[in-house]
Structures are given as structure tokens and as C-alpha cells.
Structure 1
Amino acid sequence: MNKIEALWDKSDYNQDLDFINFRIDDFWLDEKLDELYPGNLYKGLIPTLDFCLDRQAEKEIVWKRIIPEENQIERCPILMCPDDCDFSCTLIVAEIQNYGTFIQWKKLGIDETKEWDAEMVGTKVNWFKDFPVLNFEKTEYLKMVETFKAEFEKQKIMENNENKTKNNH
């Protein structure tokens, strides 16, 4: 089984930006993609589970698809461009299957969906041929998702507090 964690990482491009990133076995996911496919600017992509995803419909898709129902497969956006923080730019999709006791990322690829509807993401994907299948213990996988969720909720509370402060002045 592969090991997956949600750990704090420093941005490769913005010294002031720390974010939670996918750590799989002994590598950061974006850096592994950059190593396998150099020149495609995959290093520095950030998880879609991060709190900065801009559009509500896109947030809902990511959170709905990251943990498929048992014996189901979902195509979930997992990495995005930090400049746009939406599905419009570079977007990495994982085909995820829930086997009950473990979760499998069957394949990863670059989303080529042209429609601007969040529901359509993952309908056209250019799958990476050299990226291995990843298998994760379900409990470890759920813990990783919960780490992202806890940070997401914390950021939402902070944003709400900031908005209340602004509105009171």
C-alpha cells in the first residue's frame, strides 16, 4: 500500500505561502508529476481541497468526488494552478475507486474538458501513461481528507470573521 498524508508545504514560487499538500510515500505529488513530465509546469500546483478554490460549484464537486461511494469510481480534480484557483487553468484529475477497505487512484491526467460547467470536469482527460496506480488504506485516506477539511473549515471561519470586521467599520 502507498502512504498518503496532508502535510504543510512551502510554495516553490511564493515565499509567504504555506499550504497543505499531498504527500505520497516520500514525494510531494506536484513534484513527482514535474519529475515524470518535465517542462509542463506541474511543480507548484496546489490541491483543490485547499480553501482557496474560488467557485462554490467547483468546491462542491471536489468534496463530493474525493471519496467515492463504496464500489464506485469518480473523476476528481486534485491539483490546480495557484494563480487562478479554479478549474479554468491547469487541472490534474484522479480517477478514484473505493474498494471498501482501500482507495485506489487508478490513474491521473490533465483535464481537457472545454465546458465551463463544474459538473463536466473530468469528462475529457489526457491520462498520464507513466504515473503508477496508487493504493491507500481507507482509514489513512480518510484521515488525509479530514486534515484538508479541518483546515478548510478553519479558513472559512477566519474569512467570516474578517468579513464581519469589515462590515462593522
Structure 2
Amino acid sequence: MHHRIHAAYHQAKCSRSSCAWLFIDNTPIEEWLNNHLDYPDLDLNGLSLMWLLDEEEDALAQRRFTPAEDGTTTPVPLLVCGDDMDFDCFVLMTEQVIDGTTLHWRRFGHSVSAGLEVGINTQWGSENRSVSFSLADFHEALAEFYRLMKA
């Protein structure tokens, strides 16, 4: 089963105003993950694509979110600490797998490596809670996200 992913404006708990954001099944990503994973207070974290102060870390998040070739896996930083806004605090990671026309977030964990090494060393959660999206829908959501950021 594919989950729906799209981009729209949202005011997260860690934000003072609304900004471009990703949604899963019409729920803001941090809230959806908070409801589906066993990590406390995920809804207090920010989306890495929107919430990083460091330009190099921001570029790294964008590169890692962008789906690679079929058959590849990529460690993707999804959420970052809402207070620190960098990869030196809590970073929720996913293992992004491309399988034909489907993009899977196969497992989730938190990075134990920081900065530009984020996700190189990840402590994966013991429960396997995969989430799958249509690759075309994922590309469309990212394109809309970047369009909203520039608007």
C-alpha cells in the first residue's frame, strides 16, 4: 500500500509561522511520524529540508532526500531538533530505498554521527515500520515543496 505524500504550508510546533512542509496522508510529517514511531515528542522537531541553519547541512539534506537510482539505498535525515536546527543534536533518520516505481522508507532510527557525517552511523529502531510512496508522487511532492519555499 502506498501512502500519500504532498507539500503544503504548515505551522509546526517548533515554528512561529507557517512554511513549506511535507505531509503524509494529509498529516504533517512530524505529527504522522510521532503517531507511528516509538520516539517521544517527534512532533516537536522540524523537517530537515526546511529547518537547518547551516548551508552545507541544508544542501546535504536536499541531496539525500532526492531519490537516487533504482535499487539504491540512502540514509535520509528526516527531522531535526527544533531548538538547535542542525545535525549536532537529535536527527531522525530513515533508510530510503528505491524499488522500481516505489520509494520506501524501510526503517527509522536516530543518527549517532553528527554534522556532515549525519546518518553514517545510525542506531536503527528495533521495529521495522516501512512506509512506501509512489516514486512519481514523491518527486511531485518535492517539486511542490521547493516551489512553495521560493514563493
Normalised by the shorter chain, which TM-score bucket? 0.7 to 0.9
Q: When the two structures are superposed, what TM-score results if normalisation uses the length of structure 2?
A: 0.84
Check conservation: 2:3, 2:131, Cα contact below 8 A. yes
Give the C-alpha shift of residue 80 in structure 1. 1.0
Aligned residues of 1:49 and 1:148 also touching (Cα < 8 A): no
Q: Which gives a bigger RCO, structure 1 or 2 (Cα 8 Å, sep 6+)?
A: 2
Structure 2 CA distance for aligned equivalents of residues 73 and 90 of structure 1: 22
1:41 alignment counterpart: 41
Give the structure 2 partner of residue 10 of structure 1: 11
Q: In the alignment, which residue of structure 1 is the partner of 2:80?
A: 80
Alignment partner, residue 165 of structure 1: none
Q: For residue 53 of structure 2, what is the aligned residue in structure 1?
A: 54
What is the aligned residue count? 148
- In structure 1, C-alpha distance between the alignment counterparts of 2:33 and 2:132, rounded to whole Å: 17
**Is the radius of gyration larger for structure 1 or structure 2?**
1
Instruction: Check the 8 A contact 2:107/2:130 in 1, yes or no.
Output: yes
1:101-120 maps to which residues of 2 (within 5 A)? 101-113=101-113, 115-116=114-115, 118=116, 120=117
Percent of aligned positions that are identical: 21
Displacement of 1:131:
5.6
Partner Cα separation in structure 2 for residue 46 and residue 13 of structure 1: 6
Which residue of 1 is the match for residue 148 of structure 2?
A: 151
Q: Unaligned 5+ residue runs, structure 1?
A: 156-169
Deviation sequence 1:20-71 (CA, Å, 0-9, x none): 3332125333223333436x32112121111x42112212211211122222
Q: CA–CA distance in 2 between the matches of 1:146 and 1:109?
A: 26
Structure 1 moving runs of 4+ over 6 Å: none
TM-score (norm 1): 0.76
Structure 2 gap ranges (5+): none
Higher mean C-alpha deviation, range 71-80 or range 18-27: 18-27
Instruction: Output the CA distance in 2 between the equivalents of 1:60 and 1:30.
Output: 20
Structure 1 position 20 matched with structure 2 position 30:
no
